[in-house]
Structure 1
């Protein structure tokens, strides 16, 4: 049995939000039974609860929901991520088109892009857009080496070639080929070119807590923090599933597994399919409105940094990546879920980034963190890593009443909202509960085929040698570690 750390590093998103739902329990004791248990209280769990509420809004009664969270509410990956609502508008096109053809690749891209208007519509409708610091604009991929520029430009031109300059999505992207213009736009020193496309940003923790507050008040949700699920049964002859926790057992008709990296803890069928990897972020003080856009720097296919700036009154820069340092010891993050520890050397790297990498940054020397280092200044978190790089969304084969949305591989923000909207009708159908799709979901695309959970997909992926795959990933990291851009004074490992 594997559960998340009980003492993770402190995230800026969580500490600065000061939410009353942080360790909330709706009732002193767990109910004896419920209609749906949702395991996990992050983005996936919260949107599942929201859609269950919205799909049954016009019913005489709504399903009883019990949300069980091992730690604080939204204390996992969603409360620790980069906050970027940033679709793969073009960058994965070559790989996806090689797997699924030009139309299949475009289907995946359009699904991610649809999350931009979906977020805007949902948060505006619920009145939480300002609370969650929702913002839209351009984002960029800044090429910091010729190798990176060739890769980014090839992805853009491949998509343009297949779909035309006025094709869906690609017409919303653009190249900046002049180095000076690229540096001016991105604000990244020594940028040699960039690709620009639409994106958004959000305070993920506040978004989730806003949704849970709404569903708790208007729906039928019982929220329980610090209640880890240690075992779930299959349905018995009477249709009941038993969910075991240290605080007692609960009977339910359906279980939604919203546990991402931890899915195989309760669903062993996914033990060779979903793994953990560790990332880190920093919160840095910055002048109001200093950064014009969200963005990412790229040196090769592995080494990157990415950032956004929150609107006033916060003005905080959220910075992640640090791969030029981490590639020297890939085991520190690949197949690693030690989110109770900081990465060696990464705090110093992050604090050096503004003066080193940002054009016209107003100060020299280490940047000031927005909070004390171990109080939300710098933190770590665990992402999932899917063996085929696509999430698993839908009903779990051979386990009636069990549903899953997990394995988002560090890219859940532009995927999860509409994925859970796909799962919820399946849950309600399994319960024999009528549902009416809310107007919000009507115009958006169906779940992409590569996301679907099928017996064939599980069996096929179980045959992959996961150990060999991740050893190959580590080897690629070591190759990157030999590059000049990974051997400056900030990135070289310190010899003790």
Structure 2
């Protein structure tokens, strides 16, 4: 083997997309440690952003449809192959839209500043044959045992059985990188500052800062998957971030597996609040608020958590459930979700950058990054190793459609 045969693949970003891409590259038939090196370059910590703090919903009714058709089956395959139920909390879950009234609670404001919808339900408007069920009922499903029925105005299922599932995002992301490392993938901690190119426009290096010192690593292929921070490496990419808060609660008893999109009318407010609530295995419930306009910091380590927002979020979800009201808040956190500011609405950017040989972007997955990571990673691994994507028709997601 000559030096020209050696491939040095550098993945910028150790979130769900970067770690899952490393896993798929390390499982590709053409991958060999003898002729290919794979390095994940992470500025802060693996799964330090939304990849460790998101809800972890996986849905056939997510968007974009072209990607979801690949990714849901891949989630099922990964869970079966690597014991995902035990390793990262994979399971199918009920899912519905709940509307009703919240009870008044003593202490703690339930109000928040004006917020931004995370638009997670936008996939429901697509007329796919696998679209969720329509219609609503007065009563709750028989097995939804942790929301007060007397406070319920309506409940509408959002999907059929087997069309919605969940993972614990931190456990899933860290499992992907651990499995990749078993196949020789390296993780380097440092903040990428620039990509170097040869005279003919091909990528040849990545420069990064580690412990205040500049380092350069050679590269034949560079995959930029830095989520909302992607534009700090590639300023031409139209991606920004929206901050969202979340909490985890240990309920007073184990609760049934449901993901709820709520609309709660509170006694002290004219406007309903809309937290999302996901019951997880191991007696944990995750709840998140809509986003806000707080500017993004330089790294995930510098993300600020507003205690008042977390307190209000707990009060909101506790107002409809005794199990949550009597439970213990175990985590208060915030993260930034990546938004693509041009091109097809709600679509991530996945593909090769024209005019820059060896440069691939996989970023901008909005609120569906955990869900769409395996499909993205499968597509990128094919693109890098085979020269084209064959797992799905993802032309609409190519970078030239966005910038």
**TM-score with structure 1 length normalisation?**
0.64
State the Cα distance separating 1:426 from its structure 2 match.
1.9
State the Cα distance separating 1:261 from its structure 2 match.
0.7
CA distance in structure 1 between the partners assigned to 2:68 and 2:39 by the alignment: 29
- 1:458 equivalent in alignment to 2:395: no
- 1:221 equivalent in alignment to 2:185: yes
Q: Which residue of 1 aligns with 2:306?
A: 343
Q: Which residue of 1 aligns with 2:11?
A: 38
CA distance in structure 1 between the partners assigned to 2:346 and 2:123 by the alignment: 18
Encode CA deviations 1:161-205: one digit per residue, 9 max, x unaligned.
x66xxxx203xx324522124698483633423133121111111
User: CA 1:83 to 1:73, structure 2 compared with 1: closer, same or farther past 3 Å?
Assistant: same
Structure ranking higher in helix proportion? 1
Q: Which moved more, 1:176-185 or 1:50-59?
A: 176-185
Q: Is the 8 A contact 1:284 1:369 kept in 2?
A: yes
Encode CA deviations 1:433-459: one digit per residue, 9 max, x unaligned.
xx9x9xxxx8xx6144432222xx234
Pick aligned residue for 2:329 from 335, 360, 369 = 369
* 1:295 aligned counterpart, secondary structure: strand
Say what the alpha-carbon RMSD is for the aligned residues: 3.4
Q: Which residue of 1 aligns with 2:152?
A: 190
User: CA 1:111 to 1:240, structure 2 compared with 1: closer, same or farther past 3 Å?
Assistant: closer
- 1:291 equivalent in alignment to 2:256: yes
Pick aligned residue for 1:356 from 319, 342, 345 = 319
| Aligned pairs (5 A) from 1:22-421 | 35-56=8-29, 61=34, 63-88=36-61, 108-109=64-65, 111-112=67-68, 114-144=70-100, 168-170=129-131, 173-175=132-134, 177-181=136-140, 185=144, 187=147, 189-197=151-159, 198-217=163-182, 219-225=183-189, 227-236=190-199, 241-247=204-210, 248-270=215-237, 273-298=238-263, 304-312=274-282, 315-321=283-289, 323=290, 330-332=292-294, 336-337=296-297, 340-343=303-306, 345-358=308-321, 361-362=322-323, 367-370=327-330, 377-387=331-341, 388-421=345-378
State the Cα distance separating 1:422 from its structure 2 match.
1.2
User: CA 1:234 to 1:179, structure 2 compared with 1: closer, same or farther past 3 Å?
Assistant: same
Encode CA deviations 1:390-417: one digit per residue, 9 max, x unaligned.
1100001222111011111122122221
CA distance in structure 2 between the partners assigned to 1:422 and 1:264 by the alignment: 22
Q: Is the 8 A contact 2:25 2:31 kept in 1?
A: no
| Alignment gaps of 5+ in structure 2 | 1-5, 102-119, 266-270
State the Cα distance separating 1:348 from its structure 2 match.
1.7
Q: Which residue of 2 aligns with 1:473?
A: none
Encode CA deviations 1:331-375: one digit per residue, 9 max, x unaligned.
34xx545853222521221332343022xx24757x4212xxxxx
Q: Which residue of 2 aligns with 1:95?
A: none
State the Cα distance separating 1:57 from its structure 2 match.
5.7
Number of residue pairs the alignment of both structures matches: 360
* 2:337 aligned counterpart, secondary structure: strand
State the Cα distance separating 1:87 from its structure 2 match.
4.3
State the Cα distance separating 1:155 from its structure 2 match.
9.0
Q: Is the 8 A contact 1:422 1:447 kept in 2?
A: no
Encode CA deviations 1:37-86: one digit per residue, 9 max, x unaligned.
11111111111111111113676845201111001122122012112223
* 2:72 aligned counterpart, secondary structure: helix
User: CA 1:182 to 1:128, structure 2 compared with 1: closer, same or farther past 3 Å?
Assistant: closer
- 1:428 equivalent in alignment to 2:385: yes
User: CA 1:320 to 1:127, structure 2 compared with 1: closer, same or farther past 3 Å?
Assistant: same
